[in-house]
Chains A and B, each alone.
Chain A
Amino acid sequence: MLRNRVKELRARYGFTQSDLGKLTDVTRQTIAFIEKGEFSPSIALALKLAKALQTNVDELFWLEEDEKNEK
C-alpha cells in the first residue's frame, strides 16, 4: 500500500485541501482521497504534489512494505 505525507506537509505550509487542489489542478476531494490512502495518484500528479509541497516524490510517497523493512 502507498503511504504519504501529503496531509502533514500541507498543514506545514498552511494549505487547505482546496488550496492544494488548485495548485495541482485537481479537486479538493481528490486531495482528501490521497490523504486517506484511498487513491494512489498518477506519476504526473505525484510530481505536481511534490512540487507544490516543495519536496521530492520519494519524500512524499513510499510503500508500506519499505517502511516495515526499514524497521
Chain B
Amino acid sequence: MKNDFRMQYPLWMMGFIVVLGMFAYGVSSPVTNVVNTETEQSIMIEFEPVAGFFVVGTAALYIIMLVIFIFRLLRHNKKNPNQKVSPFSVRPLEYLEQDEGMTYITRKASQKVYTFMSWSLPMLAVFAMVTPLPRLFIVWGILLVALIQYVIYYLEIRKHFKEEIE
C-alpha cells in the first residue's frame, strides 16, 4: 500500500510545487526592453545568469519529473485496472476510496486540509492586500499554501499506514 501511486501522489505534487517556485523566481527577474519607434520594433528579454539558470534548469527538471510521473501513473493503471487514475480527473488523484475504511481515512485527511485552507487562504489574501510585496512573494505564498496542504494530507494518510500489522 505504501508503494501505491495514490499514496505517493502528494509527494509528487510537493516536488512539482517546489520546482514551480524555483521557476517563478527565474521568470520574475528578467529585464524587458521594448523598443517601438518608427524605424525599430523589438522586444528583448534579458535573463541574469542565475535567473537564466533557474528558468532553463527548472524547466528541464519539470519536464523530466513529468515524464517519470506519467510513466508511474501508467504503470499504476496497468497494475490496477480496477483502480485506474486519470491525470485529467477533477477529483484529486490521491483519494483512496476502495472501501469504507479507506474512504474514512481519506475523509479525515481531507478534513484536516480543509481546516487549514479555510484560514490560510483568507490570511494570505489579507497579507497580500496590506503589504507591498512583490508579485513573486505572492506567488510563493500561494505555492507555500499548496505545499502545506499536501504535507498535511500526506502525513495524515501515512500515520494510519505506519503501524500496519498482519
Contacts and interface: CB of A to CB of B under 8 A. Distances in A.
A42 B100 CA distance: 8
Interface in A6-36: 16-18, 25-34, 36
B166 interface: yes
Contacts of A17: 165-166
SS class, residues of chain A in contact with chain B: helix
B49 interface: no
A26 B100 contact: yes
| Chain A residues touching B, range | 10 to 19
A18 B1 CA distance: 12
Given A32-B164, A45-B100, 16 more contacts: A17-B165, A26-B100, A26-B101, A27-B1, A27-B101, A28-B1, A29-B102, A30-B99, A31-B101, A33-B104, A33-B105, A36-B163, A38-B160, A39-B101, A39-B105, A41-B100
Interface in B123-166: 160-161, 163-166
Interface of B: 1, 98-102, 104-105, 160-161, 163-166
A28 B105 CA distance: 14
B166 A34 contact: no
